[in-house]
Structure 1
Amino acid sequence: CSSECQNGTCVAPDTCQCLPGYHQSHTVANSCEPSCDSKFVDIANGECIAPNVLQCSEGFQLEYSPLSGRTFCRYPCDAECIHGLCLSDGSCQCWDGFSPSDGADNVCEPIGKNCTQSL
């Protein structure tokens, strides 16, 4: 290879084979970039800096959701967003299966929690 294979091994002239957890760069020749699997990492508002390792953009905080099993970057709210995600405008976006509470802007309640009949 005419230049060093970053995060990979030269296997033929100007051909890098990326190490596990890396993929071929679309912008830099003979370079492999870290991969973040979307099942484990949501790269919105951040950058994948190592395999499945997320670094948040300025103003965002790294968080793990046990419900989704994913790491993500969230905008810090003045009040914690219960069962939802805090958006950059400070509002709360409810997770799937939850809807905004009538009593509090930062609380999301399970849809159908007030059912009076069951099957």
Structure 2
Amino acid sequence: YGKTDKDTCAPICSEECLHGTCAEPGLCKCEPGYGGPRCELSCPNGRWGPDCTKDCVCRNNATCDPFSGACTCARGWTGDDCGSPCPPGQYGGGCLEKCRCRNGATCHHVSGKCLCGLGFTGPLCEDLCPEGTHGKDCQNECRCQNGGTCDP
């Protein structure tokens, strides 16, 4: 301990606390987002807060703010912990992009790629299956006999 310029007693650390204050001789109290003996290290991934003592709760490849613990969601995810996919009809970063799929198709919450229903094809699921095919992605071949036609 030592005397400050205001005639008060204060702890003295042998080495400077870079991102914190000297709490007692040889012990730094770190600011949020920093750790290490001299508060010289940024919190590693998955940790946050003073002395990096708190676990991040972010999911789905989200990043965790080392100071506040707040999650920044990856494309296609939302929620405080980034645990929910974008709502139907939306996709992408911040779920701000609108799906353009047709004929009742849904879009992938990350890429926006249309997932066509039975009997439809095309980038936006705008086309009926070509004649002679049917089913998901029009991958099934029709096997109608005696002049029958196939329902896509």
Greater relative contact order: 1 or 2 (C-alpha under 8 angstroms, separation 6 or more)? 1
Q: TM-score, normalised by structure 1?
A: 0.35
Structure (1 or 2) with the larger CA radius of gyration: 2
| TM-score, with length taken from structure 2 | 0.30
